[in-house]
Amino acid sequence: MAAESIADDAQLIRRIARGERQALSELYARYQRSLFAYLLQLTPDYGLAEELLQDTLVAVWKCAHSFEGRSSVLTWLIGIARRQAHNTLRQRKLPLADLAALECMPATDLEPEEWALASVARDELAQAFRELSPVHREVLLLTFVQELSYQETATILEIPVGTVKSRLSNARRALRTLLEAKEDTKR
């Protein structure tokens, strides 16, 4: 992200902290797509994702003064959205992905690809992506759509950088497993 854009974002948060409503509207216009896409990966319920987005913006309005600029504004926003989502899902007893089970998948870094995901049609891959667990969708989205660094992703997910890398590999492996299962069904 360009330095100018980062400074501009930080200025926006300072204006929100001063109580400028226009600044929150500008921030929303800038990040609504990113935040909403992220929340939709955590819950398939469109209405609930909107509710979580509202809660995120209210939280931003209330705690803008605590933004210290240690991370980028996008990282900070997604971090808030993630906390809101987890709190709400826990309160409503909605299922959260079983992280422990996912992290226990064996490391596959050195396992050669038997066939490349590149050979799969884009639509088919997109469909398999939708069937992934939220935890895997989340890490792929943060890395490839939001284009956050491993370090920023680790900050948001509150995990070590090494776990981000292994979770990415696991996500890819899960995608491949899903696609292999589809292939078997076709035959």
Interacting residues toward other proteins by CB under 8 A: 21, 24-25, 28, 32-33, 36-37, 40, 46, 49-50, 53-54, 57-58, 61-62, 109-110, 112-113, 116-118, 120, 122, 125-126, 129-130, 140-141, 143-145, 147, 149-150, 165, 168-169, 172, 175-176
Joined together, the tokens standing for residue 56 give 């995120």
Minimum CB distance to other proteins, residue 129 (Å)? 5
Contact 13, 67 (CB under 8 A): yes
- Say how far apart CA 28 and CA 24 lie, in whole Å: 6
The two counts, helices (H) then strands (E), for the chain are: 9, 0
- In the bound state with other proteins, the residue whose beta carbon lies nearer, of 113 and 180, is 113
Minimum CB distance to other proteins, residue 151 (Å)? 8
- Say how far apart CA 108 and CA 174 lie, in whole Å: 11
**Would you say how long the chain is, in residues?**
187
Minimum CB distance to other proteins, residue 145 (Å)? 4
What does 93-149 look like in DSSP terms, one character per residue? T-----HHHHHTSPP-TTSPPSS-GGGS-HHHHHHHHHHS-HHHHHHHIIIIIS---
- In the bound state with other proteins, the residue whose beta carbon lies nearer, of 57 and 85, is 57
Minimum CB distance to other proteins, residue 44 (Å)? 12
Minimum CB distance to other proteins, residue 135 (Å)? 15
- In the bound state with other proteins, the residue whose beta carbon lies nearer, of 7 and 126, is 126
- In the bound state with other proteins, the residue whose beta carbon lies nearer, of 63 and 93, is 63
